[in-house]
Amino acid sequence: MCGIVAYIGRRPARPILLEGLKRLEYRGYDSAGLAVFNGSIAIAKSAGRVSVLEQKVNGLGGFDGTIGIAHTRWATHGEPNDTNAHPHTDDVSKGHGIALIHNGIIENYGVLKQYLEEKGHTFNSDTDTEVLTHLIGELYDGDLEAAVQGALREVTGAYAIAVICNEQPDVLVVARKGSPLMVGVGKDEYIVASDSSAIVAHTTQAFTLDDYTVAKLTRDSFRTTTVDNVPLTPQIRELEFDLDQIELGRFSHYMEKEIHEQPDSLRRCLKGRTDTREGQVVLGGIAEYARDLVKARRIIFVGQGTALHASMVGEYLMEDLAKIPTEVEFASEFRYRNPILEDGTVVIAVSQSGETADTLAAITEAKQRGALTLGVVNVVGSTIARDTDAGVYLRVGPEIGVASTKAFIGQVMVTTLLATFIGRRRFLSADYVSQLLTSLEALPDHVEKALQLSEEIKDATSRYVERENWLFLGRGHNYPVALEGALKLKEISYIHAEGMPAAEMKHGPIALIDDGMPVVFVATKNSQYEKVISNIEEVRSRGGHVIAVATEGDNAIRKVAEEVFYVPDVPEPLQPMLTVVPLQMLAYHAAVLRGKDVDKPRNLAKSVTVE
């Protein structure tokens, strides 16, 4: 959940490292630091945002070298402060001038720390990372690569690290297990980063490190090995996006930009995957397993946060369109509760980054128990994409904002395609599928129309933004949308919000409703519309103020709602991809109106790569 950038080449390292940290700041912003070799290793670090570090470094000398490492932190061990910020160094009194940055968690750091203290090491921070740095220093005997390999054979946990050493000023060593790390390959230079957003400005060629892989980089060569020093040959590939896709352009925030990118994101997601004339869905990534999917007796979705909500929509879709019993599990709970995975079970992992630690662990457990595993991810070449048996990419483009928006809509689109793919092979007619696909292909235009509500939603939100407690209610396919709307409001505006099935309100939460409390209903025309209207009346009778997402042409709902945001009429299974859009904009405007940092909400990071 931290951001790593490292550079070795012919150019000055400092500006490349600082630029990379800014692009990775969504991965963590408790503190930041960098180390550059310029005759000796110079280190600067500070609590707070990357801008604080930049001001500090620009006022110091000694950072003009061509090899360095940099880090932006999301704290796991030790409070966010200058001391606990990375890089960390080995023991000053007996060390070798080793500096290290780390994303992940060293689970056995306590045992290792005791061992090193008995060896005479003195520690300055509260972090597990410093323990790893000292261990490398303890094992160093003139070969940094060998010392890193040896240390990593002793640690338990997850790591992505970059290491430099005063005694080997032309060597950068990096390694990963469980936390993402990739190496950009330029001309006489290498740029290492947690993801490609920090690399794409410098090169389009990169390779991803697999678990237990160590890479030794010099200015004109590299070699990769396992931690046991077995040589490996990585696959260098083209990056999937260019620099323009991660620039803000005319928008004030990445979240705003990514909300407005959703129509084009859906078009990319659909491209080449629908054959409306034949009534077929074309998913090359799972074609090899089509027969297994048709024969599946049970499907389990695993995910966290927004991906979990998309999975819940997927549950409705699978049971509606494919008629396969389906469950949704928190990935973080799945592997710890001894799940029953009988023959014919398919486990589908949903993740934007493809690096979510809990979801990776769930997939590992499922594979060990013999289940077929599929990945629904956005990042090409990510760990979930590599570790699952097959899968489907979202193709929605890079998502920088911490609060996921276009990834959610892409995840729902892919699960819709997946359910239709299976359902067509089981019992759905070609005519039905053709009609459904026609509606799917029209959806991007409908989302564009919904985006035109932005100013209307902003105006309505301004009337309620000071209220500290909200409810979000929906039924059927739109129940997960209510959960997602509440999550968005919580994570970027810090307003307390609860999402739930509309009927569940009467079983306790209705006690929360008081005069003027905002209650958001997803109240589109569908099979449960009349029931939702009854729930609205229950809220109104207790003084709640109703904000409704409704279907165009439904004038009656204005009699029971203070605010109404109309969206085009689409088939019920497809409604979540449309009804979520006004809720995303509501959360965005609420955060801006309250003066919050939309793209960097407190305590959150984009990709949760530790448990």
Residues forming the active site: 2, 606
Q: Measuring CA to CA, which residue among 393, 396, 395, 389 is closest to residue 418?
A: 393
Residue 43: beta bridge partners? 35
All residues at 6 or more sequence positions from 145 whose CB lies less than 8 Å from its CB, including other chains: 171, 173, 214, 216, 225
Tokens of 141: 């005997």
Q: Give backbone dihedrals phi and psi of 415, rounded to 5 degrees, phi first.
A: -65, -30
Tokens of 338: 């001894």
Number of helices and strands in the chain (H, E)? 18, 27
Residue 510 to residues 83, 465, 501, 505, Cα–Cα distance (Å):
48, 21, 12, 5
Residues counted in the chain:
611
Query: Within a 10 A sphere around the Cβ of 551, how many other Cβ atoms?
Result: 19
Q: Which long-range contacts (CB under 8 A, 24 or more apart) does 37-41 make?
A: 37/65, 37/67, 37/68, 37/164, 37/166, 37/169, 38/62, 38/63, 38/64, 38/65, 39/65, 40/97, 40/166, 41/89, 41/97, 41/99, 41/164, 41/165, 41/166
Cβ atoms of residues 348 and 385 within 8 Å: no
Tokens of 283: 């998913």
For the chain, the first-to-last Cα distance in angstroms comes to: 10
- Exposure string (b/e) for 312-337, b if CB count within 10 Å is 16 or more? bbbbbbbeebbebebbbbbbbebbee
Residue 175: beta bridge partners? 161, 214
Tokens of 586: 């509501």
| 3 state SS for 460-499 | HHHCCCCCCEEEEEECHHHHHHHHHHHHHHHHHHCCEEEE
DSSP letters for 256-280? HHHHHTHHHHHHHHHTTSEETTTTE
> What gap in Å lies between CA 392 and CA 377, rounded to an integer?
7
All residues at 6 or more sequence positions from 50 whose CB lies less than 8 Å from its CB, including other chains: 18, 21, 22, 25, 29, 32, 72
Residue 390: beta bridge partners? 374
> What gap in Å lies between CA 243 and CA 201, rounded to an integer?
6
Q: Give backbone dihedrals phi and psi of 97, rounded to 5 degrees, phi first.
A: 70, 45
